[in-house]
Structure 1
């Protein structure tokens, strides 16, 4: 009988060590990505203010493609030397940070 009580105490004691609470340090981060709709336009259709601003800011840049959105903001695919990139400008030729 003593062995039965002792073995029951050992089994119950060992089960309680597995039931310890482990804190959860995971944090949920929600990210919202809004993608603006740009439609491609011909390079010739870009306003003179935007092309002039491009010539002033980047004299050796070549305008490859141009896109416009509903807010009349331009997305310009530009090549300068061996580098390619995107520039954003409003219809008045002011640069936009995106």
Structure 2
């Protein structure tokens, strides 16, 4: 009986030594927002930058989106305040 209990303890002990935690890795998915027909872009034309600099001195461009009509939706920061501005490809402000 002692041998049975001892062998059961050894078997159970050896099983727990092989248990390990497995790290589950999930791939990171980067999505591009396509809301209101705008698609995110990395940069804007020089005319758009100049138009924003003229309208908002000290402007910092955070993000930019463009639609099929080449109208830009731009997230900007001016003096610590974030806002969204709409321009055309020539740099003319459409909406504030």
Alpha-carbon distance in structure 2 between the residues aligned to 1:54 and 1:89:
9
Q: Which ranges in structure 2 are unaligned for 5 or more consecutive residues?
A: 1-34
Say how many residue pairs are matched: 62
- Report deviation, 1:81: 1.6
Match of 1:37 in 2: 37
| Deviation of the 1:61 alpha carbon | 1.1
Q: Which runs of 4+ in 1 moved over 3 A?
A: none
In the TM superposition, residue 36 of structure 1 has moved relative to its aligned partner by 2.2
When normalised by structure 2's length, the TM-score is 0.60
The correspondence of residues 26-65 of structure 1 with structure 2, limited to 5 A, is 36-43=36-43, 46-65=44-63
Which structure would you say has the larger Rg?
Answer: 1
Q: What is the root-mean-square deviation in Å for CA atoms of aligned residues? A: 1.4
Give, in whole Å, the separation in 2 of the partners of 1:56 and 1:95.
10
Per the normalisation by structure 1, the TM-score is 0.59
Alignment gaps of 5+ in structure 1 = 1-34
Partner residue of 1:20?
A: none
